[in-house]
Homo-oligomer: A and B are copies of this chain.
């Protein structure tokens, strides 16, 4: 970055009038945009994690329910286990114990249900691996080998949930792109209005023999530095705000960890240099265009 922003104004940068408000405007814009970017980033990352979790948890567990007369139960259970072992894409399968089934039923029957004496179906929890299995094929094989087994593969739940999460994540990224674009546009406009307001300064500098690169450089450094400073401020405030957001483990875990986690902490730190880069390019273009425009 040190090529883009000098540690402080060089002597030659004094040729750019301080013009407090345009500079303040640039810093403020960069800051506000950085702040919003941090939020959008946090939202995107959180929804990303959410989508991943939904995709994996919901997709990877299915249930097979075996309803059969008591005497056929064990045979069908073994048949199901055999089928599952030879089905590609399944990581593991496990028959729920009576205790687990009792817990599932407790809200309806109370803790004292004599589950041993009931024609309760057996439940097999199936966990697929990352490739997933062919649910239609599995269903047909089960129908053939264990007629009492019914596959409940959550497909109808999974798809819209995952796509909803993906849509949220995309919304976050679109927001980031929009914010970056507006930042670039605003800094360009601020730089351009500063340059236009300083047409006379440029004229004087040309009169005394300043090269265009010299003039442009001074403006570019000024604006890049100001955008960087503003973005640092905005990022720090935004990150603090995100970190201070109360965590909540509820609402389908939707709000969990709107904050940054682990390696994702790198992202907010990337915002100020990126803002400086955007400002650098925007100002350089604005300066070149303006300098070409002024005779």
Contacts and interface: CB of A to CB of B under 8 A. Distances in A.
A123 interface: yes
A25 interface: yes
Nearest to A32: B182
A65 interface: yes
Interface string A262-292: 0000000000000000000000000000000
A114 B121 CA distance: 13
B19 A107 contact: no
A254 interface: yes
Contacts of A245: 167, 171
Determine which residue in A39, A107, A249 has the highest number of CB atoms from chain B within 10 A of its CB, and name it: A107
Contacts of A255: 164, 167-168
B113 A119 contact: yes
Given A197-B19, A254-B254, A255-B168, A189 B108 contact: no
A294 interface: no
A209 interface: no
Interface string A119-162: 11101000000000000000000000000001010000000110
A116 to B, nearest CB: 13
Q: How many copies does the complex hold?
A: 2
- Of the four ranges (under 10, 10 to 19, 20 to 34, 35 or more), the interface on chain A belongs to 35 or more
Contacts of A112: 67
Interface of A is mostly: helix
Contact of A120 (B32, B108, B251): B108
A35 B22 CA distance: 23
Given A164-B250, A197-B197, A252-B252, 16 more contacts: A19-B193, A19-B197, A21-B190, A21-B192, A22-B197, A25-B189, A29-B186, A35-B178, A67-B112, A105-B108, A108-B121, A108-B123, A160-B249, A193-B194, A251-B254, A254-B254
25 contacts: A21-B190, A21-B196, A22-B189, A24-B189, A25-B186, A25-B190, A28-B182, A28-B189, A29-B29, A32-B186, A67-B109, A67-B110, A108-B123, A109-B120, A110-B121, A114-B119, A164-B250, A165-B251, A167-B245, A167-B248, A168-B255, A193-B193, A193-B197, A197-B197, A251-B252
Interface of A: 19-22, 24-25, 28-29, 32, 35-36, 39, 63, 65, 67, 101, 104-105, 107-110, 112-114, 118-121, 123, 150, 152, 160-161, 163-165, 167-168, 171, 175, 178, 182, 185-186, 189-190, 192-194, 196-197, 245-246, 248-252, 254-255
